[in-house]
Amino acid sequence: MISYVTLSDNDLVAYLKDGDKAAFTEIYNRYKGLLYIHAYNRLRNQQEADDVVHELFTSLWTKRGELVLRTQLSGYLYQAIKNRIIDIYSHKKVESTYIVSLQQFINQSEAVTDHLVRENELTALIEKEIGALTPKMRVVFELSRKANLSHKQIAAKLELSEMTVKKHVNNALKILRSKLGLLTCLLYIGHH
């Protein structure tokens, strides 16, 4: 019987490629703690750090047959974690940019020439979150965003006051911001 604890990383990788679950478990036990600490130090969020480590090991197992190491296993795992963290920051930066852009568009309450391009980008990004808004808030928000109606037009169409329309739009933005988790220091990882 093989004692996986005593095997080198290279031997473990060879067993892993053959689908050996015990070798995978040993790699996991050997590196999960260090990778979590590294991820947490960058993300400052326990759930995100857990998720990124879990996704890395899931990917390592599912793609074990295609695994090609050009460096030591530890170097490969750290680079993979770093890449995943960069992806998280990039995604959040994109979300932040689009939500700020949407806020400016709604605050101006006027047609913007790139509205259709903006709408398509925003739709893909936040459609799921919009679906979770209260029905009235969602209707007001979608009339503002999709139909490009002014607060006054929406108020007339829905028989609401302009103040109520504005309140619904602002509350929707507040909810979307909280759900999309805007960060204050998006480029932190790029400088470390």
pTM of the model: 0.50
Confidence at residue 117, expressed as pLDDT on a 0 to 100 scale = 54
Helix (H, G, I), strand (E, B) or coil at 173: helix
Residue 181: DSSP 8-state: T
Query: Within the chain, what is the greatest distance between any pair of CA atoms?
Result: 78
CA distance 69 to 189: 24
Nearest of 48, 44, 4, 1 to residue 28 by alpha carbon:
4
Confidence at residue 54, expressed as pLDDT on a 0 to 100 scale = 95
Spell out the per-residue pLDDT of the chain, length 192, in tens: 789 999 999 999 999 999 999 999 999 999 999 999 999 998 888 999 999 999 999 999 999 999 888 889 999 999 999 999 888 878 777 677 777 776 666 666 554 445 555 555 555 555 666 677 788 888 888 888 777 888 899 899 999 999 998 998 888 777 766 665 543 222 222 333
Assign domain 91-180 to a CATH class. mainly alpha
- Residue 127 tokens read as 């459609």
State the sign of the Cα–Cα–Cα–Cα dihedral 106, 167, 155, 135.
positive
Residue 161 corresponds to which amino acid?
Answer: S
Q: Where are the domains of the chain?
A: 4-68, 91-180
Collect all residues with Cβ–Cβ distance below 8 Å to 152 and sequence separation of at least 6. Answer: 162
